[in-house]
Amino acid sequence: MHIDILTLFPEMFDGVLQNSIMKRAQEQGAFSHQYVNFRDYTENKHNKVDDYPYGGGAGLVLSPQPIFDSIQSIKDSAEKPPRVVLLCPQGEPYSQQKAEELSEEDHLVFICGHYEGYDERIRQELVTDEISIGDYVLTGGELGAMVVIDSVVRLLPGVLGNEQSAPMDSFSSGLLEHPHYTRPADFRGHKVPDVLLSGNHAKIDEWRHYQSLKRTFERRPDLLEGRELSAKEQSWLDEWKNS
């Protein structure tokens, strides 16, 4: 996978992309990335990439020309049209399912805005996906892009090392993940559940599924709405509701 990042502040990404799993993923060839500072494409004699909004109002709006031209430059050198993601509060709420969808792409482009917003023609003509990472507003799209890139890259083959890690994540199954424990078995009087020490993998799997469903019921019941439940899952839910 190749990722192009349109940003006025490329140095913000180095802490994320040049360390830990993201760094190893690039060294392994799982993905590559390139920063595109769209200020380099402006035709404005003062090197500006924004302007006042028509109709008045507070703040400045990103101008279409620099972003249109930088995207066109990327497309001109691409083998096929990339998926172009705009980070903005108005976008589709981000989810694990969206991360899995984007991880199937060969080429992603992220547009990180600043100021009051984007000229609407950027949305209409260039963008394939608008994504919001939550119902709040940040100073720019860079942090949102980092979140999405991290969540997508970790799903690429070989990145996590253990191929079972990603499918077991919270949200991948539609449920929150079960509790985890490691050594020691008794830490200051707090003991690991006996079932995890039993060696009975069928019982362990059942316990994990039970805990996963219970944690989802307690913390994110909205995730269970419309979910098709097995008879056993329904009996567990009835137990918790009546307790």
Distance CA 102, CA 53 (A): 32
137 appears as a binding residue in the annotation: yes
Instruction: Exactly one of 51, 169, 177, 233 is catalytic; name it.
Output: 169
Instruction: Exactly one of 50, 66, 142, 154 is catalytic; name it.
Output: 154
Distance CA 163, CA 165 (A): 6
DSSP 83: E
Any idea how long the chain is?
A: 243
35 appears as a binding residue in the annotation: no
Please choose, from the candidates 31, 127, 121, the residue with its C-alpha nearest in 3D space to the C-alpha of residue 84. 127
Active site residue 116: yes
Active site residue 154: yes
Tokens of 59: 């703040």
Distance CA 142, CA 131 (A): 12
62 appears as a binding residue in the annotation: no
- ∠ CA 45-57-42, nearest 5°, is 20
Active site residue 121: no
Instruction: Exactly one of 89, 100, 150, 177 is catalytic; name it.
Output: 89
174 appears as a binding residue in the annotation: no
CA 163 to chain centre: 19
Instruction: Exactly one of 101, 116, 130, 150 is catalytic; name it.
Output: 116
135 appears as a binding residue in the annotation: yes
Distance CA 216, CA 4 (A): 36
Residues annotated as binding site?
113, 133-138
The annotation places the binding site for S-adenosyl-L-methionine at 113, 133-138
> Catalytic residues, which ones?
89, 116, 154, 169
